[in-house]
């Protein structure tokens, strides 16, 4: 495990793979966070008993 970590941090090819998956998880987390915040805003803004 530490060997793998060392290879990633050494800047070799493994670091690109790690970076790719890190970016993927980060973007997914970003989307979910933004969605959660948007949901919060919508729930707070909708007045009770509102009809179109």
Partner 1 sequence: MERTWSTQREGDGRVPGWLAYASPARFDPLAARLAPWFLGAAAVLACAGLYVGFVLAPTDAQQGEVYRIIFIHVPAAWMSMFIYLLMAMYGALALVLHTRLSSMMASALAPTGALFTVLALVTGALWGEPTWGTWWVWDARLTSELLLLFLYLGFMALEAAIDDPRRAERACALLALVGAINVPVIYFSVRWWNTLHQGASVSLTAAPSMASVMLAGMLLMALACWMYTIGVALVRVRVILRERGMLPGRRA
Q: Roughly what angle, to the nearest 10 degrees, separates helices 2-9 and 13-45?
A: 90
Rule CB under 8 A: say whether 29 interacts with partner 1. no
Q: Which of residues 30-49 bind partner 1 (CB under 8 A)?
A: 31-32, 34-35, 38-39, 42-43, 45-49
Q: Which of residues 9-28 bind partner 1 (CB under 8 A)?
A: 13-14, 16-17, 19-21, 23-24, 27-28
Q: How far is the CB of 12 from partner 1 (least distance, A)?
A: 8
Contact 14, 7 (CB under 8 A): yes
């Amino acid at each position: 495990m530490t060997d793998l970590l060392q290879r990633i941090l050494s800047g070799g090819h493994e670091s690109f793979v790690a970076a790719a998956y890190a970016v993927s998880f980060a973007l997914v987390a970003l989307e979910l966070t933004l969605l959660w915040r948007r949901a919060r805003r919508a729930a707070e803004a909708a007045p009770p008993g509102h009809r179109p």
